[in-house]
Structure 1
Amino acid sequence: MSLLKEAWPASRLVKVLSDGVQDTARQSVRSEWTKRLRATVAEPVYAELWMDIERVCNANRETPWPELPLTLFRQFALTGERKPYEDVYFERRGRLVALVLAAVADSEPWRMKEVESGLLEICREYTWALPAHVREEDTVTPPWQQVDLFASETVQMLAEILLLLGEQLDGHVVAQVRQEVGRRVLEPVFWQPRHFEWETADHNWAAVCASGCGIAALLLVEDSLGKAEAIEKMLGALDCFLAGYKEDGGCPEGVGYWVYGFGYFMYFTDMLRAFTGEAVDILNSEKVRQIAAFAERVHLSDGIFANYSDSSETERLPSGLISYLNSLQEGHSSLPFHVPGLLEDPCRRWAHVLRNLVWANPLAFGSDPAGVDYLPQLGWLMCRSRSFRHSSSHGRAGRQKPELDAMLAFSAKGGHNNEPHNHNDLGHFILHGGGENLLCDLGAGLYTKAYFSPGRESIINISSGGHSVPIINGTMQQSGARAKAVVLDIAVDEQEETRTGTRLKLDLTSAYPVEELTVFTRSFAWTALEENEGARLTVTDHFEFEPSGVSMKPWDVEELLISRIQPRTGMGFVEWQGTKAVVRLDYDASVVQPRVEAVKHLDHDGVPFVFYKTSLKLASDRWNDSASVDCNLFFIINQSSC
């Protein structure tokens, strides 16, 4: 793919950003959005979202806005806590989102006055950046001109609100919004530019910030050349974002950050296409198509994902974005169709909510997921198999009748330990059945200052001690690019009925800074059982230790398995019973000593939960002075009989 900035320099952009094209696009987008928003009020699939919108509007009518005092802003610097400030910040954003959408649907005068009050409230904030992103040591750029993810989201929201409602709003309010957008974002990014790190980042920051600032420039900058120069600069940032993806389209930050970065990338490129009379169309490239397919490839079933890194297994992907991507791909999604409510997104993102209403299409959903997806550059493997439970009643010729099926799935992770939002999780795996990750990934922890500071490996979500990988001689995996999974073997069974299975073998030796460890490989073999009554996963860990003289140095291996389900244990087995499926692990009780620990923890939103760490300690005395050790874990997963 040619570089966007090279393909569309300002000198070329200015020719397609004519006033006539801009005016036509402005009228067309405003008309289409308004018409579609009003139509969705009466459509049942949007009822939950509109109920949320009305609930927020009615609960806050003529009530003071929650304050963001400087004392709350400083709390992050003093204690490292992000949540107290961010809860209020996002409540304010959600309130404005609800007010604006309700006003578009029903433009009663009181609604417009509430919108105007909300816009002025946002304009009065000390800064649009979050405290966690403000560089206190920056003596050149004051906090209110530091442009982070959320300043960029805010400026996009304000620009699009003026596009929708500008002609109906008080002129003084519109002028105030334009002034603050210019002072806080357009000036430091375009007019008197400071260099922000996101301009050359290869992850979601580049896409979100460039897209938010780019849309603001597209909608609010009046000088054609200035607008063209601003767009050219943002295309350079998007070049960096796309460079962070390999040819397989995989996102190392996980599906939650894929939808954030790539979602905003799509929002900007769609708007740019409209406002250049379709002259700038940068979506028709193979790499963009591969990136667009990522969520589908990591979807296991029923809206549950392989969620490595800082993503949730239950990410609620915006139905509008997925519908838009499906239309570009001319295909259907295996995700269940669901229009998220306003309150389902803790950040209350305007861009997602708006496009869920104007883009979502139920007909774009409902396909079956692929059997196997392998992303070679990313190092992620996803295998799926339909399972049928047979009833006790018999059909013709005495054969049992298959009952409702459930999707069984397995996923494994390679890669390296220097990825964005990195977890030390090489060789980690997930087992999924019936819409539930039975052996799971914990996803993101509660974001604090410590979560992104040196020593973050001590946090269980990040540490290999919070993943289904071994502890070797008391040592966890190390961070850094030197810790990498080398693929030794991969064989993919794309025709499930052949029963040949899929296998993956990884060399993980470099992940562990253990002097006496010379080889550690982990092999996975996934096979569907006869008549699709379940699936088998065999995990084989092979360790080689370096002898010291005539005897071995002492070694110790402890296998870990992570689940939110409390396991049942017995002689030679561990069982995790889910809602619709069950996983059973069989092992040699003379070799392995099991132990289950219940761990109390906080999730990404600060909500308490308990997960279970099953430890399988290898009895080293069984191998005496052997330098080679194998551990075989045999899993069977099938539909639950409960």
Structure 2
Amino acid sequence: KAMDSLDNFILPYPADGGCDEGPSYWGRAGASLFDCLELLYSASDGKIDLFDHPLIRNIGTFICKAYIRSPYYINFADASAKMSIEAPLVFRYGKAIDDATMQQFAAFAAREQNLASRMPGGSISRALPALFTLNELHATQAAEPLLRDVWLPNIQVMAARSEEGSASGFYLAAKGGHNDESHNHNDIGNFIVYHDGLPVLIDAGAQTYTRKTFSSQRYELWNNQSAYHNVPTINGVMQKEGPQFRARDIQYKATSQQAELSLDIAGAYPAEALVESWHRTITLNREKSIALRDVFKLNETTAPVQFNFITPLGVSIDAPGTIRLTDAASQRTFLLRCHASLQPTIETITLDDERMSRSWGNKIFRLVLTASELKPNGDFTFAILKY
């Protein structure tokens, strides 16, 4: 019966091992699967061994692929941007699948969490085996999984950084997928940008759960709406929830010079958006910039197109077509360049929710760039540069 239950969990899991709930849920998704497989392996004296199966390996290594730089992880859907891993568990999973990157990541996390001088926390089912892991964990070389390129084709998530093994420079993560994912947000075509391991453009993530979160009123919550992600509002219409609202024509490529995701996000919007096609291309030009290009065709125009950007940085307008993003605390400044005809407005979002403020502090900002003309066809480019 227990193995049947595990089969029911494993069989629908995407082959790339991607957890569409995000890395903060991996700890009770893929990691809980490992808990069970480890018990079966031990109880059967090694006869039940799934650790060499590609899917089990991919489920495990997802936690490394979602890592930006401590404490930040890719946080699409309801995932939190800041989190920490259970180092002994990640180490044991890495050892079981013979993945050195996972083991070294766990050793890095153990040092960050000072596990050499304190007991690991968590449930007793994890704390107990952790006790027999600590000596080997502390003896393992520590390293962050700073992977240059990540592509998860089944959940349609990409990530890229300027250089393998370094958090310096720009980092980009972007997604396609559909709007009926686990802990879904309406966010097809969304992307996040970091620089030197610190946030520039963000996914705000989830607030503390309430009754409304998992009800028919879920998309009344601002943080679940597409207008509060880095995606456009078309003819005054936001994206719609449901499995039929999805990306199409997904293309991903990565070279030594750049990494790029292109997709048509028109299918993420309901019929009243009157959009025939909306081809979005998001590019990391390594060590240089982030580029965004939106080329669209509308069946009719009833309201100006709006481009939304969410940031924890202070926003100011330098000149038409030049927006300054500033983090006074770290003395970081970036420029967002766009067509001079786009009209900027800035919304301050006060964060009084404890869960969200743990990631972003007491406020974030929404920059809305509105087209000055009603045109059925458009081609807009944006660039994010370090100042």
Structures share a fold, TM > 0.5?
yes
Matching of residue 374 in structure 1 with residue 148 in structure 2: no
What value does the CA root-mean-square deviation take over the aligned residues? 2.5
Note the alpha carbon deviations across 1:292-319, whole angstroms, 9 max, x for none: 1101111122342111111111121110
Could you tell me how far apart the structure 2 residues matched to 1:486 and 1:596 are?
31
For 1:545, which of 273, 294, 298 is the aligned residue?
298
Could you tell me how far apart the structure 2 residues matched to 1:605 and 1:545 are?
38
Contact 1:326 1:364 in 2 (8 A): no
Matching of residue 258 in structure 1 with residue 26 in structure 2: yes
Residues 473, 351 of structure 1: CA spacing in aligned structure 2 closer, same or farther, 3 A cutoff?
farther
Structure with bigger RCO (C-alpha 8 Å, 6+ apart): 2
If the length of structure 2 is used for normalisation, what is the TM-score? 0.87
How far 1:484 moved relative to its partner? 0.4
Residues 518, 457 of structure 1: CA spacing in aligned structure 2 closer, same or farther, 3 A cutoff?
same
AA aligned opposite 2:304 = D
Q: How does 1:437-448 map to 2 (within 5 A)?
A: 437-448=199-210
Note the alpha carbon deviations across 1:408-437, whole angstroms, 9 max, x for none: 210101100001111101000000112222
Q: Where does the alignment leave 5 or more consecutive residues of structure 1 unmatched?
A: 1-232, 388-403, 529-533, 548-552
AA aligned opposite 1:237 = S
- Where does residue 324 of structure 2 map in the other structure? 575
For 2:192, which of 421, 430, 434 is the aligned residue?
430
- Where does residue 233 of structure 2 map in the other structure? 471
Residues 606, 383 of structure 1: CA spacing in aligned structure 2 closer, same or farther, 3 A cutoff?
closer
> Aligned residues: percent identity?
23
How far 1:560 moved relative to its partner? 0.7
Note the alpha carbon deviations across 1:569-595, whole angstroms, 9 max, x for none: 311322323437543211222x11111
If the length of structure 1 is used for normalisation, what is the TM-score? 0.54
Q: How does 1:377-416 map to 2 (within 5 A)?
A: 377-386=154-163, 406-416=168-178
- Where does residue 332 of structure 1 map in the other structure? 101
Contact 1:331 1:364 in 2 (8 A): no
Residues 473, 515 of structure 1: CA spacing in aligned structure 2 closer, same or farther, 3 A cutoff?
closer
How far 1:478 moved relative to its partner? 0.1
Note the alpha carbon deviations across 1:458-491, whole angstroms, 9 max, x for none: 1122111221111112111100011101134322
AA aligned opposite 1:486 = R
For 2:68, which of 292, 300, 314 is the aligned residue?
300
Paired residues in the alignment total 366
Three-state SS of the structure 1 residue aligned to 2:325 is strand
- Where does residue 527 of structure 1 map in the other structure? 285
Three-state SS of the structure 1 residue aligned to 2:365 is strand
Q: How does 1:238-637 map to 2 (within 5 A)?
A: 238-327=6-95, 328-333=97-102, 335=105, 336-338=108-110, 340=113, 349-360=123-134, 361-362=137-138, 363=140, 365-367=142-144, 369-386=146-163, 406-493=168-255, 496=256, 499=257, 501-513=258-270, 514-528=272-286, 534-547=287-300, 553-571=301-319, 572-578=321-327, 579=330, 582-589=333-340, 591-603=341-353, 605=355, 609-620=362-373, 626-637=375-386
Bigger helix share: 1
Three-state SS of the structure 2 residue aligned to 1:510 is helix
Contact 2:170 2:284 in 1 (8 A): no
Contact 1:520 1:544 in 2 (8 A): yes
Between 606-615 and 450-459, report the one with greater CA deviation. Answer: 606-615
Contact 1:249 1:287 in 2 (8 A): yes
Residues 365, 325 of structure 1: CA spacing in aligned structure 2 closer, same or farther, 3 A cutoff?
farther
Bigger strand share: 2
Could you tell me how far apart the structure 2 residues matched to 1:246 and 1:372 are?
19
Residues 366, 581 of structure 1: CA spacing in aligned structure 2 closer, same or farther, 3 A cutoff?
farther
How far 1:368 moved relative to its partner? 5.1
AA aligned opposite 1:268 = C
- Where does residue 118 of structure 1 map in the other structure? none
Question: Based on CA coordinates, which of the two structures has the bigger radius of gyration?
Answer: 1
